[in-house]
Amino acid sequence: MNITFYGAAQQVTGSMHLLTLNSGYKVLIDCGLDYENRNDFEKNNRNFPFLPNEIDLLILTHSHIDHSGNIPNLISQGYNGQIICSEPTVELTTNLLLDSLNVQLIETRKHKGKKNKFKRVNTKSDAKALYQKVHINQTSDAMVALAFNKPFIVNDELTIELFEAGHILGAASVKLTIHENGETKVLGFTGDLGNYNSKLVKDPTPMPGLDYLVTESTYGGRLHTPHNDAEALLLEYINATCVKYGGKLVIPAFSVGRTQSIIFTLKQLSIKGLLPETIKIYTDSPLAIKTTRLYDKYKKYLNEEAQLFTKEHGDLFNFPNLYVIENSKDSELISLTPEPAVIVSAAGMVEGGRIQEHIRNHISDAYSTILIAGFCAEGTFGHELLMGKPMVFINYKPKQVYAKIARTDVFSAHPDQDGLMKFLNDCNYKSLKKIFLVHGDLNSMQKFKDKIDLESVVLPAYEDSFTL
């Protein structure tokens, strides 16, 4: 058999790996959008480096758009097989794809000359959505939910088993057992792994008996910041910003995963009576609201602590100070109101979404804090903020940065270098024939590779192909 890396190869986004068995049977693992260079979005995502109608099976590890976002396009170009994933991933993915299409349509309108208040770079592409809503419906119809830890025999050659990866609700690692030419070979794909001891999701589950492993390495090059008490950290920022100075604590957060961890942490503080009663907490992202409902619906997939919590306190996310903002008018109002508050809004890297206006309205307020709670890829506005510039450009206009810019890893959805090594050890990696590192920048992957005590650790580049 043969594996070819068509995405997340020496970069973080665009996960897509093609496995071709000797019989010609083709399995695609993930089909994500490539966001590495916004000017190349069209070029990187519109066409596939293979014929979509020749793929026999698609496995989706989790709903995040850099793993799922190009599936409707794959379908529009002829893929008509099943999409194997976990149960929560079906609904989460549908919501994320609808949101992603909406973002693409907004981009299209911008390029037709409509107003774009947050514009800060010139994009040359004549952006057009990659697919239509009908292709999202077809994606949902094609999804087949598998249980975790129950092998599924696809045919004489191939058996699939999903393992819980942590990371976000429903995230899976996948083990493929392949029988060909009288031999059995076992491959593992981690998808995105979760941070150990996360607030809501379980720890990553190791995959036993592997010959080859394709693993993410997002934070392979570094260790998370030592602050590991999420409740204490949030309380510290709320007291220092909202209580002491009457400012706003603005937290950019991904709608799927991060927002729920933050709101759950605030609920824990509320139950303990530690959350100041006068401080309003706003969650302001339509996608995050839909996702939060799914976290409640599928709570049997969450960790033991979260499940015990629901038995004791009813639900995971509601508490008296929490205000859920549905429409954009209310979003503007909460941004402009002078009273102290916490605003949790998407998108996490401050590329698109309602968070942009909240940042615009508070970046020059010396009493406010912008708390970056996750990974911000180079070139994103979140990354620019973290560089500590005294001035940034929004809508081509300079804005002085007087707000405090802070960052924390305490809500990270990925393991750091120690966590990744723990996962490899749990998978008994020294008995593997080869490890492929993907989903990381080259620098991180090289640092991680140096830590792995195995002769064959490969950092595949785009379109690199290997016979296994």
Positions in the binding site for Zn ion (CB under 5 A): 64, 192
Q: What is the DSSP letter of 205?
A: P
Residue 356 Cβ vs Zn ion, minimum distance, rounded to whole Å? 22
Q: Which is nearer to Zn ion, 158 or 165 (CB)?
A: 165
Question: Can you spell out the DSSP letters for 260-323?
Answer: HHHHHHHHHHHHTT-S-TT-EEEEE-HHHHHHHHHHHHTGGGS-HHHHHHHHHHS-SS--TTEE
CB of 33 to Zn ion, least distance (A): 12
**Least spacing, CB of residue 256 vs Zn ion, in Å:** 8
| Cα distance between residue 34 and residue 32, in whole Å | 6
Question: Could you give the CA distance from residue 175 to residue 333 in angstroms, rounded to a whole number?
Answer: 49
CA torsion 142→102→330→288, rounded to 10°? Answer: 40
How far apart are alpha carbons 323 and 335 in whole angstroms? 13
Q: Read off the tokens for 439.
A: 């989903």
Nearest residue (CB) to Zn ion, 87 versus 216: 216
Distance CA 43, CA 34 (A): 10
Q: Which two tokens stand for residue 374?
A: 């996750």
Which residue intervals of 143-257 are DSSP H helices?
230-237, 244-245
CB of 64 to Zn ion, least distance (A): 3
Least CB distance to Zn ion at residue 131 (A): 21
Which tokens in the block code for residue 357? 């206006």
Closer by beta carbon to Zn ion, 64 or else 404: 64
Q: Which is nearer to Zn ion, 192 or 384 (by Cβ)? A: 192
Nearer to Zn ion, 201 or 263 (CB): 201
Minimum CB distance to Zn ion, residue 252 (Å): 16
- The residue (of 73 and 93) whose beta carbon lies closer to Zn ion is 93
State in angstroms the smallest separation of the CB of 167 from Zn ion. Answer: 6
Strand partners, 162: 148, 174
How far is residue 411's CA from residue 260's CA, in Å, rounded to a whole number? Answer: 10
- Of 161 and 192, which CB lies nearer to Zn ion in the complex structure? 192
Q: Nearer to Zn ion by C-beta: 166 or 221?
A: 166
Please give the backbone phi and psi of residue 464, each rounded to the nearest 5 degrees, phi first. Answer: -65, 140
DSSP class of residue 366 equals: T
Nearest distance, CB of residue 244 and Zn ion, angstroms: 36
